[in-house]
């Protein structure tokens, strides 16, 4: 069937519209007489993705990786590797790791899920939105996970808190939509528990990342300026589900602003240098009704600040934690509006109120 065009005069085209029309018109110019060349669409003009660039498969005794900027949010597949050191120094959409044995793996921020299947004797450093394993044995994982990690039909699993640094990592977390303060690394859900057995546990408190996943030895990957020093970690190192050393905790909440992250990191450094321990952190959006539930009598002071963005909450533990938090905030953050527990007696309730709300908010 032929094409019919309206005889009405068309309005003048803008520069971009004109260019598009010229491209479409030009698309058929090379066609043979009587033959119309198919028009080009925007998705035809994109650079073609070669799956091989986003796959490590069937490797043995190799060190391989991807430098910052080389994955750029694509999906990645790792499969059938043995005795390999694998490093993904970039953010990705999702990653599957299948049938790998005795491998050491670093996976930069993953916007969605990472799924380990049929793997054994692997040591990993992983940051992700969702973490899941199935039919795995003896995985040791330094983990940052925004939601509750799930293991299924897996045994001998050990977990520690993610600790890692290289210059591009903070921006990669942002590109993956992950907050450095949302890390439920130790709150594991075992989908297939066995009565009388424990399929998972925590790595030793003094565990050092580099002893599990060493720095890369290949010349190409050495270009990434890595530090596994816990004090430089992009993720604040938390105690998580480990038993607290004291019955006194303190809740501190920073409100959204230009220096929220920097202020939270500064307080963590100040408190941990004095021997207090960071139990857990959270970044979450609060509404006025949430403020009343969490901050109770002092809620009216903070409601107007909630419109600026999510809050960052920190729980510190140790004898004298409340007094030290209040003192440090008065000295170091005197011009900043911060919620701090008022007393040891109220602090426990503050912590419960906030984290119960946060867990509901995040579907935990």
Residue 228 lies in a domain: no
Which of 83, 202, 189 is CA-nearest to residue 142? 202
Residue 287's pLDDT is what? Answer: 93
Residue pair 110/128 in contact (Cβ under 8 Å)? The answer is yes
For residue 130, list its beta bridge partners. 113
Residue 273's pLDDT is what? Answer: 95
For residue 115, list its beta bridge partners. 96, 132
- Report the distance separating Cα 272 and Cα 278, nearest Å: 7
Residue 23 pLDDT > 50: no
Residue 30 pLDDT > 70: no
Q: What is the pLDDT of residues 236-288, one digit of tens each?
A: 999 999 999 999 999 999 999 889 999 999 999 999 999 999 999 999 999 99
Residue 97 lies in a domain: yes
Q: What is the pLDDT of residues 275-334, one digit of tens each?
A: 999 999 999 999 999 999 899 888 999 999 999 999 999 999 999 999 999 999 999 988
Pick out the residues of the known binding site for GTP.
Answer: 112-113, 129-132
- Residues 71 and 214 both lie in one domain: yes
- Residues 301 and 202 both lie in one domain: no
- Residues 218 and 264 both lie in one domain: no
Domain, as residue range, for 338 = 244-363
- Residues 129 and 66 both lie in one domain: yes
Question: What CATH number is associated with residue 170?
Answer: 2.160.20.70
- Residues 260 and 352 both lie in one domain: yes
- Residues 180 and 262 both lie in one domain: no
Cα-Cα-Cα-Cα torsion 265, 270, 276, 281, nearest 10 degrees, comes to -10
pLDDT grade for 362, boundaries at 50, 70 and 90: confident
Residue 31 lies in a domain: no
Pick out the residues of the known binding site.
Answer: 112-113, 129-132
- Report the distance separating Cα 286 and Cα 255, nearest Å: 10
pLDDT grade for 29, boundaries at 50, 70 and 90: very low
Q: Are strands 311-317 and 277-284 parallel, antiparallel or unpaired?
A: antiparallel
Residue 300 lies in a domain: yes
- Residues 74 and 198 both lie in one domain: yes
Q: What is the pLDDT of residues 182-223, one digit of tens each?
A: 999 999 999 999 888 899 999 999 999 999 999 999 999 999
- Residues 68 and 172 both lie in one domain: yes
Neighbours of 229 (CB within 10 A): 13
- Residues 330 and 286 both lie in one domain: yes
Give the number of domains in the chain: 2
pLDDT grade for 77, boundaries at 50, 70 and 90: very high
- Residues 84 and 126 both lie in one domain: yes
Question: What CATH number is associated with residue 307?
Answer: 3.30.70.141
């Amino acid at each position: 069937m032929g094409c019919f065009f309206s005889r009405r005069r068309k309005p003048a085209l803008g520069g971009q519209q004109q260019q598009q029309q010229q491209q479409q018109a030009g698309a058929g110019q090379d066609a043979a007489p009587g033959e119309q060349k198919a028009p080009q669409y925007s998705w035809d003009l994109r650079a073609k993705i070669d799956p091989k660039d986003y796959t490590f498969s069937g490797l043995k005794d190799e060190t391989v990786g991807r430098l910052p900027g080389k994955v750029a949010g694509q999906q990645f597949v790792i499969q059938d590797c043995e005795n390999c050191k694998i490093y993904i120094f970039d953010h990705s959409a999702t990653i599957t790791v299948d049938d790998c044995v005795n491998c050491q793996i670093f996976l930069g921020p993953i916007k969605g899920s990472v799924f380990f299947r049929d793997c054994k004797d692997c040591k990993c450093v992983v940051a992700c939105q969702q973490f899941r394993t199935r039919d795995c044995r003896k995985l040791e994982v330094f983990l940052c996970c925004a939601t509750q990690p799930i293991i299924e039909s897996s045994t001998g699993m050990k977990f520690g808190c993610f600790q890692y640094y290289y210059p591009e990592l903070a921006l990669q977390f942002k590109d993956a939509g992950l907050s450095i303060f949302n890390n439920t690394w130790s709150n594991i859900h075992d989908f297939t528990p066995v009565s009388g057995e424990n399929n998972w546990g925590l790595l030793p408190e003094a565990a050092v990342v580099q002893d599990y996943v060493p720095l890369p030895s290949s010349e190409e990957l050495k270009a990434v300026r890595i530090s596994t020093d816990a004090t430089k970690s992009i993720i604040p190192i938390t105690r998580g589900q480990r038993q607290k050393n004291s019955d006194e905790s303190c809740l501190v909440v920073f409100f959204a602003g230009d220096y929220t992250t920097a202020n939270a990191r500064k307080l963590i450094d100040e408190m941990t240098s004095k021997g207090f321990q960071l139990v857990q952190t959270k970044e979450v959006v609060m509404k006025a009704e949430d403020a009343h539930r969490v901050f109770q009598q002092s809620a009216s002071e903070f409601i107007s600040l909630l419109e600026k963005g999510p809050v960052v909450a920190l729980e510190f533990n140790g004898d004298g934690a409340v007094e030290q938090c209040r003192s440090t905030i008065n000295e170091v953050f005197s011009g900043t509006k911060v919620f701090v527990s008022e007393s040891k007696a109220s602090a426990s309730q503050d912590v419960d109120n906030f984290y119960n709300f946060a867990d509901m908010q995040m579907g935990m």
